Structure 1
Amino acid sequence: MHDSYSSSRMLVRATALIALSFTSHLVHAVGPLNEQEASYLKENDVAMIKMMDAMSIAPSGDIDRDFAAMMIPHHQGAIDMARSELKYGKNEQLRRIAQEIVVEQQQEIVAMHVALGESLPAQPSSTAQANVISSTSSHHPISTDSMSMHMHDSAKAANKEDTP
């Protein structure tokens, strides 16, 4: 069983590296990138590798815990990629969607921890939230208070569902 897990983890990692290699070759085939696009692609590559690696878990025997253990890094990967869109993207609709992804995926991460009876992870610092917001302030700002409120409301709602 352990060999199966190790093989699976190596396959996931190899697949991610092949995808990144393909992206790199595609970039060279298309032509030179501007510095901003190169930075965006690099940040997304890092987010994808981190996400794929964290999603490769050893089965615990508890389906619910395994589900959350894979979905939490998946959601964090979406947050990381959305933040890259906010940092580099220009399309107003996609930037708004990226802002919503950050808030909604953070809420779902909190809800999964609560559903498992785990203590809540440290909330993103106001500085980290402000950095995301400042990169979008001239576009469609979401206040730090609004993001924190959404996360707090999500945790309260998840706790209510657990109460008989």
Structure 2
Amino acid sequence: MKIGIGNDHVAVDYKWEIKKYIEDKYGYEVINYGTDSKERFNYPVSGEAVANAVVSGEVDKGIVICGTGVGIGLAANKVNGIRCVTCSEPYSALLSRQHNNTNMLSFGARVVGIELAKMIVDAWLSGVYEGGRHQVRIDMLHDIEERQKMK
């Protein structure tokens, strides 16, 4: 499995720590789409880059990190086909995979400690989409995207 990871200047250290954690624990390849500098960097750049990599199939899933996780998650969700969840705890991360088939995760380096961030990543990566009744809602989200393309 390939995971895309992106970040802004606030989350450089978190990115490296999470990248190493995923590679060591899961053996997944983690591809960096974020900045490596702590100089001011606009989070929409890496949020969109990771989202485009997910949609194109360059990577299987994406993780994006900024100060709160909110802005970079919003940027990712602007890309059609992305379902990015912003989480500050593991339970929502797990259910987002099981019920919403999320393909991206965001969290905040200023919001969660690094050990909690690892727990969120673990929950998200372990979640398996249940399909069934949830697919109706995923289809509805896809319909919204299609309608927006026509505007």
TM-score, normalised by the number of residues in structure 1: 0.30
Larger strand share, 1 or 2: 2
Larger helix share, 1 or 2: 1
Per chain length, whose mean CA-contact separation is higher, i.e. which structure has more relative contact order (CA < 8 Å, sep 6+)?
2
Q: Which has the larger radius of gyration?
A: 1
TM-score, normalised by the number of residues in structure 2: 0.31
